[in-house]
Structure 1
Amino acid sequence: MASATLWIGAIAAFWGIAYAINGATQAGAYVTVPVPLDAFIDPESAFAHPKQLPEGTSLQPSGNSVDLRAWDSTILEQLLSRGDTAVTGVALGLGAVLLRRLLLSILEGEPFRKGNPSRIARLAGLVVLSGFVANFLPQIAATMVLTRVGLSPSGIPTVHIPLLPIAAALLLLILAEAFRRGSELADDTAATI
């Protein structure tokens, strides 16, 4: 299981980076970015008529938002639109290294080995970092695309803060504290014997 974790992490990191690099080779073609629905609704209209889409753009429904496909993308737009996959892949790769060491110490019968609490805390940091960065990069790409096609005059990205990574990181930090206390108890027990 520890070896499989490392392989899965390596594949995820490779896939995320390769996917982003592949996007950079697609510059000039279509780019797909998630955008809030209110970017296409005229708020001053009582009936909320959709705004006219510029030529070379189209909308596709995607959950609570829509995806905008726009022609004539730039390299930066392509990289940022796929940046969430790259960041998540790299975070999974780094997390797999940390998790492998943790799993090996548990398999060796030393779950409270020195260093395990910090590994779990670093996993929590990776979860938060990847959750925020992976969420923010496509939003920057969406702002760039909306500005380029003339649908967003402000040029300021809309920031949505994901709560799931924060909750997962808090649980990991609680687990790290439990492992730290377990490590202290194991050290105290070894000292008294």
Structure 2
Amino acid sequence: MRRAWWGPPTVLLTAGLLAACSETVTGTAAPAGPAAPRMVTTQAATGVTGALVADAVADECLLNASELGSLLKRAVRPPVQSTIPHADGSSGSSCVVTADAEPIAMINVYRAGTGVPADYIAPGSHPVSGAGDAAGVVTTDAGPMLQLATRGYLVTILVAGGPAPADDAWRKAAAAALTRLPP
């Protein structure tokens, strides 16, 4: 389930892409129009054969700049809901977090197409207790990613490069994100 940054469908963020994103609105930006839900087949990272429905909410920016700065231990710009092109020519959306001009984190929200969101937490992930119904941190090519399952959603928070935040920092970010999910 590495759709969040690299891997099928491949997502490559560049400075040119960020220049083409929607207008910056402090943590509550919305895309110009809702992207059609996209089924993402998973198995490699989760062990579950099934599909997640990507772009499950219009605004995936579930954390504000202050909360993200706390998680990342650095100042960040306000997160921006952005359109992300996929290698197959389709597009989806993600909440992109930048510091300076570089993307340093991404938030995505999915619904389970089959099963429950907790089924999609990667086997062997580092468990983060006290966060949602289930949570685990996986290592991806792009960096550590929290997979947070709750109330019908799977939220992923990817931190590009660097070490993984401490469990307490993940828990705090998870708690804040959960308050902003729709019922």
Do Structure 1 and Structure 2 share a fold, with TM-score over 0.5?
no
Select the structure that is richer in strand: 2
Q: Select the structure of larger CA radius of gyration.
A: 1
The structure with higher relative contact order (CA 8 Å, sep 6+) is 1
- TM score, norm. by length of structure 2: 0.27
